[in-house]
Structure 1
Amino acid sequence: MTSHSDRTIVLITGANQGIGYEVVKGLLAHEKYHILLGSRDATRGAKAATEIDPTGRIVEPITIDVTDDASIQRAVDEVASKYGRLDVLVNNAGINNEFEMHFQQVQNQKDGVQEKPDLAKMRRLFHDAYEVNVAGAAITTEAFAPLLEKSTATPARIVFVSSHTGSLGLRVDQSSDWHQKLSSPSFPIYRSSKSALNMLTLHYAAKFQSKGWKVNASCPNLTATNFSRGNGRPASESAVNIVRLATLGTNGESGVYRDEKGVVPW
């Protein structure tokens, strides 16, 4: 077993690019952190880890596909074998697979085309999105909970990377600056998966409350990544609040859904 008794061990899923990649970089500013850069593709994960930390002393790649139970278990076994514990889990892996369907619908509306919906395709999109965004986060959390139990950090922390678009409160509040944007009937699969993730956040915050763990959800905002086809703000800005939640102390909040500006309504 590798000795890192003086370091906080943090795992970030889906971290070989985008927001997760920037979270890894953001955590480098915090002393005595050892960062496990999670990626479902081992080659891409190794490349990303080397880009961030050529020495390999602080950032270490780890292969984990949150849709594959065997992959999750291998990652758990690897962390257990090397470190015997986990101090922080950032559930960052996520997908939005509706872009093609969304833009086709927009174009059809412009052209006045009444297209029969492809229900089988829609079902597949729902299944795949929920498999990653909801089930993947839940199963990963459950799998790593025994190692978080052994955390030497105070407190253990779990961060779920959610979205403003999953907020029911922002969706219905007509006085909100977000209302016009979020009231449009678009991206129901992605949005509802993030609403479900918010419920998971509350579930685990309650489940681990007696242990003093800090369990929160972060809203990164629209971010310029492959995920959003380059639309949005820099990923480094979207990572700021995630890094903050991943480094909370004993007086930090738990069971909260927020961005860098403050609390976001559920």
Structure 2
Amino acid sequence: MVKVAVVTGSNKGIGFGIVKELLKRFDGVVYLTSRDDGRGKAAVAKLNELGLKPEYHQLDVTDRDSVVRFRDHIKEKYGGIDILINNAGVGNSIDFYPPYEECKTIIDINYFSIFTIQELLFPLVKDNGRILNMSSACGHLSNIRNKDWIERLLKKDLTVEDINEFVNWFLEGVKNETFKYDDIADEGKGAAYRVSKVALSALTMLQQKELESKNIAINSMHPGLVQTDLMLGLGFYDIDQAAQTPIYLVLDAPDSLKGAFVWHDRKVVDWYDYKGDYYFKTNYFIKNCAQKSE
């Protein structure tokens, strides 16, 4: 049976780099997917110029009908998925403190869309398969400063409802203009992105429990500060370098690595270490990237 790897949001950036590396190393079919057909097919053409042959399918993770169409396509053509990398996501605009509608869009794409993927695509992942949720340094618990939410997210019996309430607490606060930005690290810069990725990282650990019976490994990771549109072209790594740890996690990591939060250097980080120095620091990033570009 043909093996299948799927990378969401892979017409550019890290996702594109992951597809390129999978095509070189994975013994099977690799799907490049994108929300926009034109951009997706243009990305396929770039890979074809390198002698690489991905398969392509339109996939908008926020559109249930789109996910259903993709699911049905995979079921009919290949029957299942061996590797699923949930890479699709968006960041803040130039504004570190965007209005409610932008915050909601960030949350919907980066977090709530994963429930559609979980419902429709996770069942296609074969026994012993691997899933990777692309998180961020912004997805570590140390990004949260609100003591009540730190305590709740630390619960051993954390539930999906807890995580959803955390996300909705943030959204309601922004909508009602009651949100206190000192409840988030780094003066609350990029709070929506941080909340979305903290929620995704927490959810990954719950998903691992549900997938254990099929011996599927699911992890989340911080890919590093990469030169992508999300980072406005700034960063310490290009997309080919950034693809190496995701590839390791889905192809080479030991079967025992499950439900973990992994740093870009393959180090497993304690996600619960809310006092740790893992949160994203905007000023440090801008200063160091500026020095590097000089």
> Could you tell me how far apart the structure 1 residues matched to 2:226 and 2:77 are?
34
Does residue 206 in structure 1 map to residue 209 in structure 2? Answer: yes
1:108-145 deviation digits (Å, cap 9, x = unpaired): xxxxxxxxxxxxx6221221011100111221122112
Q: Secondary structure at the match of 2:15?
A: helix
- Equivalence for 1:220: 223
Q: Secondary structure at the match of 1:221?
A: coil
- Equivalent position of 2:279 in the other structure: none
Read off the aligned partner of 2:73 and give its amino acid letter.
Answer: E
SS at match of 2:80: coil
Name whichever of 122-131 and 243-252 sits farther off: 243-252
What is the rounded CA distance, in whole Å, between the counterparts of 2:245 and 2:50 in structure 1?
A: 27
Equivalenced residues, count: 230
Answer yes or no: is 1:240 the counterpart of 2:244.
Answer: yes
Q: Which runs of 5+ in 1 are unaligned?
A: 106-120, 173-181
Residue 92 (1) aligns with residue 84 (2): no
- 2:113 is aligned to 136
Paired position in structure 1 for 2:190 = 187
Give, in whole Å, the separation in 2 of the partners of 1:250 and 1:224. Answer: 29
Q: For 1:225-263, what per-residue CA distance to the aligned partner results, in whole angstroms no more than 9, with x for missing partners?
A: 111110102122221111111214663411011124201
| Deviations, residues 77-96 of structure 1 (Å, cap 9, x unaligned) | 11111111111110000001
| Residue matched to 1:101 | 95
Farther off after superposition, 244-253 or 155-164: 244-253
Judged with a 3 Å threshold, the aligned counterparts in structure 2 of structure 1 residues 249 and 71 are, in CA distance, closer, same or farther, namely: same
Do residues 48 (structure 1) and 43 (structure 2) align? Answer: yes
Q: Who is 2:6 aligned against?
A: 11
1:24 corresponding residue in structure 2 = 19
For residue 204 of structure 1, give the secondary structure of its aligned residue in structure 2.
helix
For 2:131 and 2:26, the matched residues in 1 are separated by 19
Cα pair distance change 1:56/1:64, threshold 3 Å:
farther
Deviations 1:128-164 (A, max 9, x none): 011100111221122112211xx2xx62111000001
Q: What is the TM-score with the length of structure 2 in the denominator? A: 0.73
- Report deviation, 1:56: 8.6
Q: Which residue number corresponds to residue 255 of structure 1?
A: 259
CA contact (8 A) 1:49 1:56 kept: no
Q: TM-score, normalization: structure 1?
A: 0.80
Question: How high is the sequence identity, in percent, across the aligned residues?
Answer: 29
Equivalent AA in structure 2 for residue 188 of structure 1: A
Whether 2:100 is the aligned partner of 1:123: answer yes
Q: Work out which of the residue numbers 135, 150, 165 in structure 2 matches 1:162.
A: 135
Which amino acid letter does the alignment assign opposite residue 128 of structure 1?
Answer: T
83 and 54 in structure 1: CA distance in 2 versus 1, 3 angstrom threshold: farther
Unaligned runs of 5+ residues in structure 2 are: 146-184, 272-294
Task: Identify the residue that residue 65 of structure 1 maps to in structure 2.
Answer: 60
Partner-residue secondary structure (3-state), 2:224: coil
| Contact 2:143-2:194 within 8 A present in 1 as well | no
C-alpha distance 137-56 of structure 1, shift in aligned 2 (>3 A): farther
In structure 2, the residue matched to 1:109 is none
The whole-number CA distance in structure 1 between the counterparts of 2:253 and 2:269 is 21
2:28 equivalent among 24, 33, 46: 33
